[in-house]
């Protein structure tokens, strides 16, 4: 039996897990969820929620915290995410808070705010510094670093809940649509947003297992899965990555499969960024100054010159005018 034939079952299993695979927009969804866990107890008390309300609104808050990135996932329109990251992102964020009309919309808006602030903080202070440039110039290195942080969070014993984080985006869709109309003067069909969130949820459920069974992380007390991940990580994974590199294809899949486990310094950097961002959030809610520029902290995009911002503007121009 040939070397390839012996490894074919493992390769097929890995391919089944990875088709399609998801990109990282800034730090990944599990970093945003972890930040939400830090914020929500004080935010929910600040808003006067009862315990029953907290339980009901927690999944809405989590959905708002990843909604920015929903368009990046297979089956969604990536222009939706390019727009809210790169074209007037702070007007959109302020609009979310200004137009929220009920507790569900408030929870979604606060999640949205947490995402925007963590994105710009981690890009500026952590990710761009490590990769030597903004995303538009160092795409693969960004993906490897950001997914590596998520792998670390998923592997921690206290991160077990991340594997099945609850999500409820329905209370935020009308708000999202109203704010897009207000900021951009364009009507985005609500189904575009709902489809993006469905695609995002699908990948959020799948990605931990992709990382695990490709050997990017180990789970405490899950020896069988860890063993399978080790086997695939030393056979099918490097073979598939080499093939993708040779074909110069599927940067997103390569980023997932070559996620870089963070050093202790990087781990501390992420936790420090979360601490600082919590202060940024309190300052924003108290009426303090807001950040400026794109969420990618990319001067080229801030100037309207990167490819993604040009694509987002063309997409917005193609939409019908808001009533």
Q: How many other C-beta atoms can be found within 10 angstroms of the C-beta atom of residue 19?
A: 10
Q: How far is CA 54 from CA 42, 47, 57, 61, 107, in A?
A: 11, 10, 5, 10, 10
Q: Answer whether 57's CB lies under 8 Å from 44's CB.
A: yes
Helix ranges restricted to H, the chain = 3-18, 29-46, 51-66, 78-86, 89-99, 103-122, 128-131, 139-155, 170-184, 190-213, 223-233, 236-247, 251-257, 264-285, 299-302, 307-318
**The pLDDT value given to residue 21:** 53
**The pLDDT value given to residue 236:** 82
**The pLDDT value given to residue 242:** 86
Question: Rounded to whole angstroms, how far apart are CA atoms 133 and 39?
Answer: 29
Question: Rounded to whole angstroms, how far apart are CA atoms 239 and 253?
Answer: 13
Question: Residues of the chain whose pLDDT is less than 70?
Answer: 1-26, 249
**The pLDDT value given to residue 7:** 46
Q: What distance lies between CA 145 and its chain's CA centroid?
A: 13
Q: Where are the domains of the chain?
A: 3-318
Question: Rounded to whole angstroms, how far apart are CA atoms 234 and 214?
Answer: 9
Query: 191-215, pLDDT tens digit by residue?
Result: 999 999 999 999 999 999 999 999 9
Q: Which residue has the tokens 């919309």?
A: 105
Query: 21-58, pLDDT tens digit by residue?
Result: 555 455 899 999 999 999 999 999 878 778 898 999 99
Nearest to 114 by CA among 26, 217, 219: 26
Question: Rounded to whole angstroms, how far apart are CA atoms 88 and 181?
Answer: 13
């Amino acid at each position: 039996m040939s070397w390839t034939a012996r490894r074919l079952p493992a390769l097929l299993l890995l391919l089944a897990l990875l088709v399609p695979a998801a990109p990282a927009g800034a730090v990944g969804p599990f970093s945003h969820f972890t930040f939400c866990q830090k914020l929500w107890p004080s935010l929910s008390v600040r808003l006067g929620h009862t315990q029953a309300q907290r339980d009901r609104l927690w999944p809405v808050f989590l959905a708002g915290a990843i909604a920015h990135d929903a368009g990046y996932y297979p089956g969604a329109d990536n222009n939706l995410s390019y727009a809210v990251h790169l074209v007037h992102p702070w007007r959109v964020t302020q609009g979310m808070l200004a137009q929220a009309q009920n507790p569900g919309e408030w929870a979604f808006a606060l999640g949205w705010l947490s995402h925007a602030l963590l994105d710009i903080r981690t890009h500026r202070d952590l990710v761009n510094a490590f990769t030597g440039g903004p995303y538009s110039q160092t795409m693969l290195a960004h993906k490897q670093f950001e997914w590596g942080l998520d792998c670390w969070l998923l592997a921690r014993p206290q991160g077990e809940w991340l594997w099945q984080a609850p999500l409820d985006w329905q209370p935020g869709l009308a708000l999202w649509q109203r704010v897009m109309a207000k900021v951009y003067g364009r009507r985005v069909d609500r189904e575009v947003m709902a489809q993006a969130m469905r695609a995002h949820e699908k990948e959020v459920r799948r990605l931990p297992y992709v990382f695990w069974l490709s050997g990017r992380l180990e789970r405490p007390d899950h020896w069988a899965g860890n063993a399978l991940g080790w086997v695939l990580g030393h056979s099918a994974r490097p073979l598939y990555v080499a093939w993708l590199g040779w074909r110069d294809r599927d940067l997103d899949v390569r980023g997932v499969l070559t996620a870089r486990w963070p050093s202790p310094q990087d781990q501390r950097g992420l936790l420090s960024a979360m601490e600082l961002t919590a202060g940024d959030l309190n300052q924003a809610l108290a009426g303090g100054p807001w950040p400026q520029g794109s969420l990618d902290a990319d001067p080229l995009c801030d100037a309207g010159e990167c490819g993604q911002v040009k694509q987002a503007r063309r997409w917005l121009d193609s939409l019908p005018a808001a009533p």
